């Protein structure tokens, strides 16, 4: 059974995610409400996945630290769940990511799909939880260009939306120390 840790500072959201993910056949090994509790649980509970819904977590340095604490754990970053993100969608995303890791355990699978370095960088920035405007500022581009590039990548990789694209990237890309010093 896939072991999942939930990290959010919203207790009601934690209860809802726990109920839906459990009903979806996932085992919840811990629910954390702050970064300190998260770090402890990552080490002791050994989850396969951690669903992170904390505004302070998307910083790349923090993600790298979390990955060092639990290298076996796939981090599922949700910058902030919205009313349009159903709990079933979260469960589906975790199952999808579990299937990706079983189907292709290679961390460099995107290279095999002939993604350019700039495309891999774009996917990584989405995985870090950046919005199109933030990605555009980081890359020195326009938000509409970023949106078009993301749509094109999603079509080519067979992902339905930016969450699936980010999950796919996180399950197949090595976590870079920093994206060429830009973030």
My answer on whether 29 and 77 are in the same domain is: yes
Strands 27-32 and 3-8, bridge-based pairing: parallel
One domain, residues 94 and 120: no
CA distance 59 to 84: 24
Same domain, 49 and 130: no
Burial (CB count within 10 angstroms: exposed 0-12, middle 13-18, buried 19+), residue 26? buried
Please check whether residues 41 and 64 belong to one and the same domain: yes
Say if CB 170 and CB 97 are below 8 A apart.
yes
Distance of CA 67 to the CA centre of its chain: 12
Query: CA–CA distance from 111 to each of 105, 108, 114, 159 (Å)?
Result: 13, 6, 5, 17
**Domain check: are 16 and 67 in the same one?**
yes
Who has greater pLDDT, 130 or 178? Answer: 130
Res 57 pLDDT > 90: no
Q: What is the pLDDT of residue 114?
A: 47
pLDDT given at position 11: 85
Same domain, 84 and 128: no
* Residue 52 dihedral angles phi and psi, to the nearest 5°: -110, 115
The CATH code of the domain that includes 1 is: 3.40.50.2300
Count how many Cα atoms sit within 13 Å of the Cα of residue 21 in the half-sphere of its side chain.
26
pLDDT of residue 105: 37
Q: How many domains does the chain have?
A: 2
28 pLDDT tier (thresholds 50, 70, 90): very high
SS3 category, 127: helix
CA distances from 132 to 105, 121, 140, 162 (A): 29, 13, 12, 10
Are residues 72 and 122 both part of a single domain?
no
Of the three residues 71, 103, 135, the one that is the final residue of a domain is: 103
Range of the domain at 156: 106-183
Q: Are 2 and 94 in contact, with CB atoms under 8 Å apart?
A: yes
pLDDT in tens, 69-86: 888 888 877 655 455 556
pLDDT tens track for 99-144: 544 444 343 443 344 467 788 788 888 877 788 999 999 999 999 9
pLDDT exceeds 70 at position 182? no
């Amino acid at each position: 059974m896939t072991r999942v840790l939930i990290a959010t500072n919203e207790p009601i959201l934690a209860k809802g995610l726990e109920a839906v993910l459990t009903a979806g056949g996932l085992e919840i090994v811990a629910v954390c409400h702050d970064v300190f509790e998260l770090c402890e649980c990552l080490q002791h509970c050994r989850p396969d996945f951690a669903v992170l819904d904390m505004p302070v977590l998307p910083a790349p340095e923090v993600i790298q630290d979390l990955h060092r604490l639990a290298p076996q754990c796939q981090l599922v970053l949700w910058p902030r769940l919205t009313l349009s993100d159903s709990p079933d969608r979260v469960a589906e995303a975790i199952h999808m990511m579990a299937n990706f890791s079983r189907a292709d355990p290679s961390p460099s699978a995107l290279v095999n799909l002939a993604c350019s370095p700039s495309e891999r960088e774009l996917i990584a920035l989405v995985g870090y939880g950046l919005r199109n405007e933030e990605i555009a500022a980081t890359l020195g581009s326009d938000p509409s260009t970023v949106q078009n590039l993301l749509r094109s990548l999603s079509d080519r990789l067979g992902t339905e939306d930016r969450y699936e694209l980010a999950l796919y990237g996180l399950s197949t890309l090595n976590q870079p120390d920093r994206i060429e010093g830009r973030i």
